[in-house]
Amino acid sequence: MAIRTILHYPDKRLRTPSATVTDFGDTFQALVEDMAETMYAAPGVGLAAPQIGVAQRLFVIDIAGADEPSDLRVFVNPRILEATGELCWEEGCLSFPGVTEEIDRAERVTVRAQDRHGKTYELEAEGLLAIAIQHENDHLDGKLMVDHVGMLKRRMIDRAMRKRAAEANA
């Protein structure tokens, strides 16, 4: 297992749509382990493969509280089948360090995905889990948190992140 580097906006790879996972072999299993370790080290509640530069339809989520046992969930080739209700949630993103924004999402979702071994399952989720599923699923399509805010906020976040990237590269 290894901690991978998380890409930060405005890295163009974050906009790349992901490919369907077809090989669930050892290399893929190592990727899942690396993603979990990277997410926990960040720390975060979710991480999509594109955020570490891997354009595959895979994300991991663990919304367990600090005083609760780990509840790692692996979503491979996910598809949101149904989204109902509306909820505004203050979201952050590991690819946007220090940025949080209120984002409107569906309150409940039904998702069909495969587990890390390729077995298909369906899950109904609400609250934070539903929010995390929608957020991470967006990453698989090259859609980012800033795509859910107004133009003024988007410009402010874009400027701040580009300034951060320039300072990091200086």
Look at residue 1 and tell me if it is in a domain. no
- The domain total for the chain is 1
**Span 135-167, pLDDT tens digits:** 999 999 999 999 999 999 999 999 999 999 888
Please say if the pLDDT value at position 169 is more than 90.
no
**Span 11-54, pLDDT tens digits:** 999 999 999 999 999 999 999 999 999 999 999 999 999 999 99
Look at residue 55 and tell me if it is in a domain. yes
pTM over 0.75: yes
CATH of residue 42 = 3.90.45.10
Q: What is the distance between the alpha carbons of residues 106 and 121, in angstroms, rounded to a whole number? A: 20
- Catalytically active residues are 136
Look at residue 4 and tell me if it is in a domain. no
Which pLDDT does position 92 carry in this prediction? 95
Look at residue 75 and tell me if it is in a domain. yes
Q: How far is CA 66 from CA 59, 62, 91, 119, 135, in A?
A: 21, 11, 18, 29, 21
Look at residue 7 and tell me if it is in a domain. no
Structural domain range at position 19: 12-169
Band the pLDDT of 1: cuts 50, 70, 90: confident
Sign, CA dihedral 83-87-92-95, equals positive
Read off the pLDDT of each residue in 92-107 and give the average, rounded to a whole number.
96
Q: What is the distance between the alpha carbons of residues 51 and 129, in angstroms, rounded to a whole number? A: 19
Look at residue 109 and tell me if it is in a domain. yes
